[in-house]
Amino acid sequence: MRVTMIGTGYVGLVSGACFADFGHEVVCVDKDASKIETLNEGGIPIYEPGLDLLVERNVREGRLSFTLDLEEAVRTADAVFIAVGTPSRRGDGYADLSYVHAAAKEVAEVMDGYTVVVNKSTVPVGTGDDVERIIAETRPDAEFAVVSNPEFLREGAAIEDFKRPDRVVVGTDDERARAVMRELYRPLYLNETPILFTARRTSELIKYAANAFLAMKITFINEIADLCEKVGANVQEVARGVGLDNRIGGKFLHAGPGYGGSCFPKDTLALTRTAQDAGTPLRLIETTVQVNDSRKKAMADKVIEACGGDVSGKQVAVLGVTFKPNTDDMRDAPSLEIIPALQAAGAKIRAFDPAGTVEAEKLLDNVDFVSGPYICADGADVLVIITEWNEFRALDLKRLKETMKAPILVDLRNIYNPDEAKAAGLTYTSVGRP
């Protein structure tokens, strides 16, 4: 099938490359000329493990291409995916749908023949209705269907998630559109992946509900971690004991500095706004948002406390600044709250991240980014682990102790054993463990 993907960010580029790998003919469109130029020259504008090889193979085999020409790409397409950003709208927390609406209008102006227009962007309930109205008003003669097909991709594991998903959700009541979507996902159907067809509004809500539930799960275990610290319990053992209940499961029960990234912060906020407008406020989600925001700020206090209550003039070494490992995404990363708070307390910051430096330098001022973990720790008064990159899981703790000015390690991801850290001569602080 002929597929057009509007947007070459995390969702659009990964989805386009994977559809091409399924055997479809895919054209990815973007308005950013520099991004399209990079892609056409063989570069990848985002960091996602394995994506460079996937893109290179499908470009070489003629199934994947990149262009600025929306008209030509849409005119020949069987399905047009809208995969543009829906950031939180400044000031009120609603999802900013301006990019989605603009894409819908542009698609309507150039579409030719029956076309399935697919909302791949994460959008509030009712956005499909808006897209349908925009297309119908722009082109009253158009023959089309608007479908909701939310993404459930984890940055850092997006290719695996697309090719081996837990489920595919498709929201449409149009039989012709269903047939197109079945054909697009036929390789997954043959692998017996559950493909759930629902009404469009139901599909839109599934995405938000899933993200909100996972965000609540993270926030729940973070609050349990705080209680563990007060009563002398171990949050990792609590999480394991709880997660072995197959009604609950162990995923997302990992205490840390709070969730961030491109989805959870904006989606939980947008969902609460939708619910408030509908007259059915979601108190659990509202509280989740508030607790998570407070938690990021509290992590700076944990570092200051580990340093005896004062970091003024001290050198703080930070390992990991992205919101999670295996990505360069800095959106709503805990480091964006923790580092400025430490700087406000008088600390000097040195940092290392395996992939996030370029993006981080755009967002963090007066941070000395270096090229490795031991360089980062050299002469530091405290070392803080914010992101659990694999590169940080087997550091030589004795070497760290010898190179640091003060042997203080604050592990906000609980990746080290407290006894091993103590045996190496480090004063060790973690989250939710005695």
Beta strands across the sheet bearing 382-385: 367-369, 348-352, 315-319, 382-385, 408-411, 427-429
Report the pLDDT value the prediction gives residue 93, as an integer from 0 to 100. 87
Domains and CATH numbers, the chain: 2-198 (3.40.50.720), 296-429 (3.40.50.720)
Report the pLDDT value the prediction gives residue 353, as an integer from 0 to 100. 98
Report the pLDDT value the prediction gives residue 190, as an integer from 0 to 100. 82
What one-character-per-residue DSSP string does 267-335 give? HHHHHHHHHHHTT---HHHHHHHHHHHHHHHHHHHHHHHHTTS--TT-EEEEE--SSSSS----TT-TH
Q: Which two tokens stand for residue 135?
A: 């297309």
Residue type, 129: D
Q: Collect all residues with Cβ–Cβ distance below 8 Å to 71 and sequence separation of at least 6.
A: 110
Terminal Cα-to-Cα distance of the chain (whole angstroms) = 57
Cα–Cα distance measured from residue 83 to residue 1, given in angstroms and rounded to the nearest whole number: 18
- Contact call for residues 115 and 71 (beta carbons, < 8 A): no
- Pairing mode, if any, of strands 427-429 and 144-148? unpaired
Report the pLDDT value the prediction gives residue 191, as an integer from 0 to 100. 82
Place of tokens 């973007």: 30
Report the pLDDT value the prediction gives residue 113, as an integer from 0 to 100. 94
Under DSSP, the state recorded for 154 is P
CA distances, 80 to each of 67, 116, 318 (Å): 14, 6, 43
Report the pLDDT value the prediction gives residue 90, as an integer from 0 to 100. 81
Nearest to 186 by CA among 54, 19, 57: 19
Report the pLDDT value the prediction gives residue 89, as an integer from 0 to 100. 87
Cα–Cα distance measured from residue 171 to residue 256, given in angstroms and rounded to the nearest whole number: 35
Report the pLDDT value the prediction gives residue 92, as an integer from 0 to 100. 86
- Contact call for residues 425 and 398 (beta carbons, < 8 A): yes
The set of catalytic residues is 263
Judge if pTM exceeds 0.85.
yes
The enclosing H or E element of 382 equals strand 382-385
Report the pLDDT value the prediction gives residue 434, as an integer from 0 to 100. 86
Mean pLDDT by 10 residues, the chain (434 residues): 97 98 98 96 95 98 97 96 93 92 98 97 96 97 97 95 97 97 93 94 97 98 98 98 97 97 94 96 97 96 98 98 96 97 98 97 98 98 98 97 97 97 97 94
